[in-house]
Structure 1
């Protein structure tokens, strides 16, 4: 079971990036610009890219590659992917690409980074350090 978690956490960030890409490929609803549903979807940028950061963190932790430097690198990767996602949406019917959406992506990633700095690098959070054991038990 632990080996399964090891591999699930390894592929999770790439699978999630694919999911973001597929959801960004869905044409928007031209009539939903000022609806409650549009406002909720718009606010999900914070959460969506915060989750991406955590999935990368978990993958790197189980591989024993997590450090303050890789944490910052993942911030850049996630924000860069947010920029790619916004460019992709420029070419999707009834979707828009805005700097504000990229800003919301960056805020979600940054908040996740700050939480990780506090929990992993300062407090040595028990759960996150248990993920490292998956790497050691798989002999890698």
Structure 2
């Protein structure tokens, strides 16, 4: 269990490095679908989950610290994920083959907010009891 705890604590940092690297590369560096409209739609929709995943990884990392996860720390995880989303958009603005937009930030914050709603409900509002049980076992 000790190894899992350290893996969960390291995942947010590894994921942030991966986001930074991928933001430095052209959007079609890894995958380019034959239909350019489908390719564009899928890649744009990834903004809804990209920083939501970061928020969830941060929560999981914090949950490894027994009895230390509070509503304030939950908010801090969401804010940090949002700030990293902002920094990612700024980072992308320095590359001619990437773009940065306010709409991308709205998608980033929407994904974070949806996950925040469920995690807050599961851990602090006695909703989503199955999710709460899973999170409490971390």
TM-score range, shorter chain: 0.7 to 0.9
Per-residue CA deviations over 1:2-41 (Å, capped at 9, x if unaligned) read: 1111011010111111111111111245xx9x62101100
Matching residue within 115, 120, 139 for 2:118 = 115
Match of 1:85 in 2: 88
Question: Is 1:13–1:55's contact at 8 Å kept on the other side of the alignment?
Answer: yes
Matching residue within 54, 60, 65 for 2:62 = 60
Q: CA deviation at 1:93?
A: 2.8
TM-score normalised by L of structure 1: 0.85
Question: Is 1:12–1:55's contact at 8 Å kept on the other side of the alignment?
Answer: yes
Question: Is 1:46–1:104's contact at 8 Å kept on the other side of the alignment?
Answer: yes
Matching residue within 35, 38, 58 for 1:36 = 38
Per-residue CA deviations over 1:44-95 (Å, capped at 9, x if unaligned) read: 0111111111000000010133110011111111111000000110112311
Question: Is 1:90–1:96's contact at 8 Å kept on the other side of the alignment?
Answer: yes
| Structure 1: gaps of 5 or more residues | 132-140
Question: How far apart, CA to CA, are the structure 2 residues paired with 1:7 and 1:28?
Answer: 32
TM-score normalised by L of structure 2: 0.86
Matching residue within 119, 134, 137 for 1:130 = 137
Question: Is 1:46–1:107's contact at 8 Å kept on the other side of the alignment?
Answer: yes
Question: How far apart, CA to CA, are the structure 2 residues paired with 1:38 and 1:111?
Answer: 23
Select the structure with the greater relative contact order (CA < 8 A; seq sep ≥ 6).
1
| Structure 2: gaps of 5 or more residues | none
RMSD of equivalent CA atoms: 1.7
Match of 2:109 in 1: 106
